[in-house]
Amino acid sequence: MPAKKAAKKAAKKSVHHPAHDLRRAYEHLGRVDILEGALAGSPFRDVSALAKLAQEELAASHFREAADLLRAAEHICFAALAPEDHAGTAAPVSSELKAAIAAELDHLTGRAEDNWSESESQDIAPHATIAAVYTTTIEQARLAFTAGGYRPALELARAAEALAHIARRGSARLAADGDPRQRLAS
């Protein structure tokens, strides 16, 4: 990318627009509301807990955190609702595609782990819910990939990356609290 174009892109990225985040939160919340009804068990508890945190962030006018929490919740929904390969009905995955998926999974989990490590090096204690969902999600992404669940693996890795991004920003508002997943029924 030419230097001038890269400088413009960096300058544009450095300007933060709260209205953009509010719109993002609204869109993610709409999709999560639709998808959440089809969930059960652990995905339902995780998505509900993240949505509850996002609602609190919206009420406090912290739109960026709300949008990112809801983005993570949406990825968890898609991972949980991805069809499984029953009796070989899914299209076969070529070795080239599997390699590309593995590379993207490594990229996403690497970014997630880097962001998470950065938050830990800054002595930032993320909200208990975010920490618990992050740990579960990144583990499930790797397990899904190993089992051949490539779509859920990528969605879970994207969710983990979003949660780690929130942790890296170190929001004091999302400091360690009780885990609302313990209070939600499945």
Write down the pTM of the prediction.
Answer: 0.81
Work out the burial of residue 38: count CB atoms within 10 Å of its CB; fewer than 13 is exposed, 13-18 middle, 19 or more buried. Answer: exposed
At 100-136, the pLDDT tens digits run 999 999 999 999 999 898 887 777 677 888 999 999 9
Q: Considering the chain, what percentage of its residues have pLDDT values greater than 70?
A: 80
For residue 173, what pLDDT is reported? 52
pLDDT of residue 90: 63
pLDDT at 8 > cutoff 70: no
pLDDT for res 89: 52
pLDDT given for residue 87 in this prediction: 44
Whether the CA torsion 171, 21, 128, 152 is positive or negative: it is: negative
Res 175 pLDDT > 70? no
Interior angle at CA 38, CA 34 and CA 44, nearest 5: 95
Angstrom distance (rounded) from CA 167 to CA 117: 9
